[in-house]
Every structure is written in C-alpha cells, then in structure tokens.
A and B are shown apart, each in its own frame.
Chain A
C-alpha cells in the first residue's frame, strides 16, 4: 500500500497510529468484557481460557494489546497537550523530552523490578 504524498509527514502518521490503535482496542473490548463475565457464569470456562492465555502466541497478542494501549494513551496525551496547552515550540520540545526521559527511566526501573 502506497501512502499518498501529502500524508507523508510525522503528524499524519501519529494520527493514523492513534486511529488504528483506537479501532483495534474498541474491537477488542467486547471480547474482553465477555471473557471477564465468564467469572460469574462459568468460572471453569474462565480458567480454561486463562490457561489457554499462557500459550506463546496469545502471550504475543497480549504484548500487542498493551503496546496498542500505550500507543493510544501517549498519542492521546500528546493530542490533549496540543489542543489544551498553548505552548511555544520550545516549551513543547522540552516537555516531550522530559516525558520521554521519565518514561524511559521508569520502564528501565520497572524491568529491573520484575
């Protein structure tokens, strides 16, 4: 698939990433709700499902899900900041740097902790 020339810039890619991750998460929601509701109606089915969720492929899918969630959250915070805070370009760069640095730090810390 070729991306049309007028779309080839970072903010458009940020947009499409936000839209696709949001769409995927919205489609996943009913499934998630259904599985959690099993806890009441059919606990043995839920356990069966959770057992199945240990499979590597499903683990990978889970990773994908958390990744989508992270993409959507940080993309969304970016949007909120862009829309609600009338910052100058310099302030934006500083804020983005601060956020990514603190994010890197906390992820590093977190990976050590588990």
Chain B
C-alpha cells in the first residue's frame, strides 16, 4: 500500500484559536496523494473527532482550503509531493478567520465583506424586458471574465497581510467580485459599488503585496482587480466617469 515510501509525519491543528495546539499523526504515504486525502485518512483511521470541511474534491466548491506548511492551499487539488518538506506536513486552519474547531474556520466575516463591497448583482430589469445582449468580445466583458471564476475558497483572504493588519479591510475576494460587477454592463448600481469600496476598509488600503494573485488556486488576479478599482475611483473623483 505504501509503495515502499516512508510514512508522512503530519501535524494537524486541534482545537480553537486560543486554546489549541498541533497534534502529530503518522500517515501512510501513497502515490498521487492529496493533502485532503491525508486529512481524510486521519479522520477515518486515527481520530474520528477531527473536524474539517470539504465537499466536491475536484476544485469547484471552494470549501477545503487550509494552511499547508505555512501557505494557504486548496487541499483537494494539492498533491502531497508538491508541498511536503522531507516527510513533514503541517496542516492548520486558514489565517485571518475565526477558528471554529480544528481545521474548520468561520467563513461569515469573509462573506459579510462580499456583501459590504456590494459584491452582489444589482438587477434593474424585470422578466418583461427583453434579454440584453452582452458582446463577449467587448472590452468590459473581457475584463470582467478575467475575474469571474472565483470559487470563494478564501485562500486569497488568508494569504493577505493587509487583512491581518486591518480587520475592516474588505479583502481580495470581495474586491475582485466588486470589480467584475463594476465591469458588468447589466449591473444597475455601478456607482454604488465604487462608493462601497472607497470607505475606511476599501480598496485603497491594499499594499499590492500580491499574495492573493500568487496563491489563488484558479489563477485569478485580485491584485489587478483591486488596482482596477483604485483607477476607477480616482477617475470618478476627477470627474472622468468610467
């Protein structure tokens, strides 16, 4: 079963944020093993009380993100061989979010900020209006398309030191969403989006550290989206409505 490979030495975060510690497990190594496989093995074979979150296992649902050897990862699509240090693997909950238990974090602040950034579509037409054609090649649509494949995994949010330093900061995912909606010609409140991202926790707090873009598992560019919002808000302040 272990194909002659040495067992993995896995340390896993147990408990809550304040009262918790890393616990060691020895897990048999397998070929093409993902980090999620390792966590599932521990829960099924070593300690059934281990709490973690996952659903689709194919990188679509965005629920299994964790901190692996210090970096935020989607664990279902992260091969052990890619991130293991010797035989060691350290798996913890995502940073910047309250820990519920073990590897499961409370995602509420993350999604609250989606809403606070007006990262919600603002419809202005009813079912009686004709369908508005959107030209896929239009400049706006191309820009929006670059950011829409977000799976809400919060990897960018966990990687962002600006979020750590400023808990009010809306964060890369919410701002990326706001940027895609700002570039959606059907959205009915594009001015409202710019207002929402201009407050004391808005896009202007970003330090362009670029961890979001570096770690985004879907290879999106929240850093670029936030720069886009900075440009759009500055343009509007100078009376050049975009």
Contact = CB atoms under 8 A, between A and B. Distances in A.
Given A6-B70, A6-B72, A79-B208, A11 B227 contact: no
B70 A5 contact: yes
Contact of A12 (B70, B209, B230, B231): B209
A84 B215 contact: no
A14 to B, nearest CB: 8
Interface string B202-219: 000001111100110000
A9 B211 contact: yes
Contacts of B215: 6
B70 A83 contact: no
Contacts, number: 45
B230 A83 contact: yes
B209 A11 contact: yes
Contact of A15 (B72, B208, B231, B234): B208
Interface string A1-13: 0001111010110
A56 interface: no
A83 B214 CA distance: 17
Interface size class of A (residues with CB under 8 A): 10 to 19
A82 interface: yes
Contacts of A11: 208-211, 214, 223
A108 interface: no
Given A6-B70, A7-B161, A83-B230, A15 B207 contact: yes
A7 to B, nearest CB: 7
Interface string B63-82: 00000011110000000000
13 contacts: A5-B71, A6-B72, A9-B210, A11-B208, A11-B209, A11-B211, A12-B161, A82-B208, A82-B227, A84-B227, A84-B230, A86-B227, A86-B228
**For the complex of A and B, 10 pairs with smallest distance between CB atoms:** A5-B70, A11-B210, A15-B209, A83-B227, A12-B209, A6-B71, A83-B230, A5-B71, A6-B159, A15-B207
